[in-house]
Amino acid sequence: MRTWSLLLSVLLALVLLLPAHPQAVVAAMEPTLSIVPDKTVTLTFDDGPDPRYTPAILDMLKKRHLQATFFIVGRNAIEHPDLVRRIERDGHTIANHTLTHPHLEQLTLTQVNAELQGGDAALTSVLGPTFPIPHFFRPPRGNVSQAILETTENMHKQLILWNVCVENHSTTTPDQVEARVMDLIRERHGGILLAHDGELDRSLTVQSLPRILDDLQREGYHIVTLQEYLDRQTTKEAR
Ligand SMILES: [Zn+2]
């Protein structure tokens, strides 16, 4: 099941990264890595906000003048509205990560729709009616289903997965996390980096991130917003 969902995620990433029809996915498998814009990284955070980790992450981003995308869980937004407002005030992109972070791929179309609408509604209730409805959506655990794809399309959202995840069961110290993440990023010449700022114990993430951000900046990676990352990708494909 895990392998299958991983494979599905990879296939989906291809569908999403290329303006292609699903039939073209297999043909497009080979140059997967080359579609990451050269030495460009975008930072994304899932599962927050959480007062244990989000403020520290916001501080480290601010210190380095970096902007990220926060895929926020609606119920956490309602619980910690001040943190959501700070994320917005700091200029980061706010995105939808459902209302309750369920196993979305197991839900019906109506239930999936309610989770996405609920996520948007939670953010609007905290940020006010003038706040634009989030364009980006990431399904919990990166799992997808027909109902998720259909709902995302109906709501005119863009489904975003990732290339490199900071958290991994094989790494248990900041040194190990840094080494693994940087190896993967160098291999891919950049990518969408996923880290988590809520739900579980994320202290290792908070300890490791400054090292990763320092490495990226020292090695000349462009750390850009998600929209800019996607724009660069499109430009590269158009060449
Ligand atoms: Zn999540």
How far, in Å, from the CA of 150 to the mean position of ligand 1? 20
38/34 Cα distance (integer angstroms): 8
What pLDDT is attached to residue 12? 47
Task: Say whether 197 is catalytic.
Answer: no
How far, in Å, from the CA of 62 to the mean position of ligand 1? 23
158 found inside a domain: yes
187/174 Cα distance (integer angstroms): 20
What pLDDT is attached to residue 148? 98
Residue 22 tokens, joined? 């699903």
What pLDDT is attached to residue 238? 63
14 found inside a domain: no
Domain at 80, CATH number: 3.20.20.370
232 found inside a domain: yes
Name the 3-class secondary structure at 161. coil
Domain that holds residue 119: 34-238
DSSP output for 6-35: HHHHHHHHHHHHTT--TTHHHHTSTTGGGG
4 found inside a domain: no
Q: How many domains does the chain have?
A: 1
**Prediction pTM value:** 0.85
How far, in Å, from the CA of 35 to the mean position of ligand 1? 25
12 found inside a domain: no
123/129 Cα distance (integer angstroms): 9
Contact by Cβ (8 Å): 170, 19:
no
What pLDDT is attached to residue 21? 35
Q: How wide is the angle at C-alpha 12 spanned by C-alphas 8 and 14, nearest 5°? A: 125
Residue 32 tokens, joined? 């997967």
169 found inside a domain: yes
Of 156, 159, 53, 168, give the one whose Cα is nearest residue 104.
Answer: 159
What is the Rg, in whole angstroms, of the alpha carbon atoms belonging to the chain?
17
How far, in Å, from the CA of 47 to the mean position of ligand 1? 5
E strand segments, the chain: 40-46, 69-72, 93-96, 136-137, 158-159, 164-165, 190-196, 222-224
* Catalytic residue chosen out of the listed positions 80, 92, 97, 196: 196
What pLDDT is attached to residue 234? 74
What pLDDT is attached to residue 36? 74
How far, in Å, from the CA of 187 to the mean position of ligand 1? 25
Per-residue pLDDT of the chain (239 residues; tens, 9 = 90+): 444 454 444 444 444 443 333 333 333 333 333 467 789 999 999 999 999 999 999 999 999 999 999 999 999 999 999 999 999 999 999 999 999 999 999 999 999 999 999 999 999 999 999 999 999 999 999 999 999 999 999 999 999 999 999 999 999 999 999 999 999 999 999 999 999 999 999 999 999 999 999 999 999 999 999 999 999 987 766 65
131 found inside a domain: yes
Q: How many CA atoms lie within 13 A of 22 on its CB side?
A: 5
* Catalytic residue chosen out of the listed positions 46, 47, 50, 120: 46
How far, in Å, from the CA of 26 to the mean position of ligand 1? 28
Sign, Cα dihedral of 176, 181, 183, 184: positive
5 found inside a domain: no
Task: Say whether 196 is catalytic.
Answer: yes
